[in-house]
Every structure is written in structure tokens, then in C-alpha cells.
Amino acid sequence: MQDQLPFAFATRPSFARNDFIQGAANGEALAWIERWPDWPGTALALSGPEASGKSHLAAIWVERAGATIIPADALTGSALPKLLGEAKSVLIDPADAAPEQPLLHLFNLLTERGGHLLIVSREPPARWPIKLADLRSRLAASTHVAVAMPDTELLGAILVKLFADRQLAAPREVIDYLALHLERSFAAARDAVARLDRAALAERRRITVPLARQVLGFGEESLPLIP
């Protein structure tokens, strides 16, 4: 049986709970998401680097809580009543881009309703340049959980999922090689898989370790590509 050559398929990442890959870097954050509605306060702040899985965690919570999603740039004082409606669970992402006064008002409304707010951002609220003392106080009293960079084992599992999202089955030796050589970040894994997908499709070649060396520049660019 011949190895499968790459073909152009639409990328359909799954944000279902069953597709979330848990590891030391994100286990605490997932535990807090699944602990809902047993949170100690109104808000949970979730922070982490780009492409670290925050959106996947947020999607799990939205499904679990039946939450309303309010984009940060849509959050204004005049629009809030219509945006919120009767909702008691709300996601704001990226929360650090939301205007302070409407965010404070939303926080207060959800507190009055006995509801919950998930605020997602790259930096934890303690590092936001917040001017409103009341908002700063409420965020300081909220639970904060961070998603960290993945270890080698988690990075390998993430690579498998990223290839699967593109309907590609990368050999185990490619996964192991990438997990060992890539920067340990979700963003690096996402970028590497996208570049390998494009290169393999353009050259109509299988995804191999030599291809990874050449495309990602791991110091052996002169090696020939293996069909």
C-alpha cells in the first residue's frame, strides 16, 4: 500500500471537548473550565500566549455554560443591554481590548444576576493598564489561570491534532522530530504544520523528516527531498 500523498482540503479545527489535548501546560485551566458553575466568584480570567489553546478552552466553556459571546470591540455602554439580553454567562475575548467602563458594567450586571464571566487575554489582568479603580479591584479579586508553553509530549500530541485538522496523517518519525526540534509553543507547531502542508502540496511530496528539515530550516537544507 502506497503512502498517501497530500491533497488540498479545507482546514476544520475541532473545538469539541473530546478533541482537547490535555497536558501539564493546560491541565489546571481545563480543570477550572470544567469546574463551572462552581467558581468562587463572578469571573474567571484565562491568559496565555498566542495559539495556546485559549480559544478551544473558551469554546468548551461556552458550550458547557450556554454562554453568550460578546466581541470586545462590540462592548459599549449603549449596546450592552441588547448584547447581554437575559444571559447569565458571557465570554469576552480578547478582554484586554474591551473598553473599561462597559466591561465594569457587564461585570456588575452578571454579579447581580448570579452569573459568570470568562475573560480571555494574552496577558493576565494584573498586567493590564487599567485606569478604573473599581474594575481593577474586581479583576484582582477574580480567579486567574494561565496556559503555559507545552512540554515535548504535549507538543507531539498537538502536532498530531494539527495534521489531522488538515486531514493529513504525518508519520510518527515526523511528529517526534518536530516535537524535538521546534520551539515549544503552540504557535510554532501551528506554523510548522501549515508550512509543511503548503510545501508538500506544492511539490506533491509526502511529509517526511527531510522535508521538515528543508522547509523549517533545521540546518540541513541541502538534503534532497524524498518522494
Q: Where are the domains of the chain?
A: 21-146, 151-216
- Which is higher by pLDDT, 1 or 21? 21
**What is the percentage of the chain residues whose pLDDT exceeds 90?**
70
Q: How far apart are CA 111 and CA 41, in angstroms?
A: 8
**Mean pLDDT over residues 176-188, rounded?**
89
Residue 89 has pLDDT above 90, yes or no: yes
Residues in contact with 135: Cβ distance below 8 Å, sequence separation at least 6, in sequence order: 100, 103, 104, 107
Residue 20 has pLDDT above 90, yes or no: no
Residue 222 has pLDDT above 70, yes or no: no
Residue 171 has pLDDT above 60, yes or no: yes
Q: How far apart are CA 191 and CA 33, in angstroms?
A: 27
Residue 73 has pLDDT above 60, yes or no: yes
Provide the 3-class DSSP secondary structure of residue 176.
Answer: helix
Q: Report the first-to-last Cα separation within the chain, whole angstroms.
A: 15
Q: What pLDDT score was predicted for residue 11? A: 54
Residue 196 has pLDDT above 50, yes or no: yes
Instruction: For residue 45, give the H/E element and its range.
Output: strand 43-47
> Is residue 4 very low, low, confident or very high in pLDDT (cuts 50, 70, 90)?
very low
Residue 119 has pLDDT above 50, yes or no: yes
> Is residue 227 very low, low, confident or very high in pLDDT (cuts 50, 70, 90)?
very low
Q: How far apart are CA 44 and CA 225, in angstroms?
A: 48
Whether CATH 3.40.50.300 fits 21-146: yes
Contact between 106 and 132 (Cβ < 8 Å): no
Residue 71 has pLDDT above 50, yes or no: yes
Q: What pLDDT score was predicted for residue 223? A: 35
Residue 9 has pLDDT above 60, yes or no: no
Q: What pLDDT score was predicted for residue 26? A: 93
Whether CATH 1.10.8.60 fits 151-216: yes
> Is residue 13 very low, low, confident or very high in pLDDT (cuts 50, 70, 90)?
low
- Give me the amino acid identity at 123: E
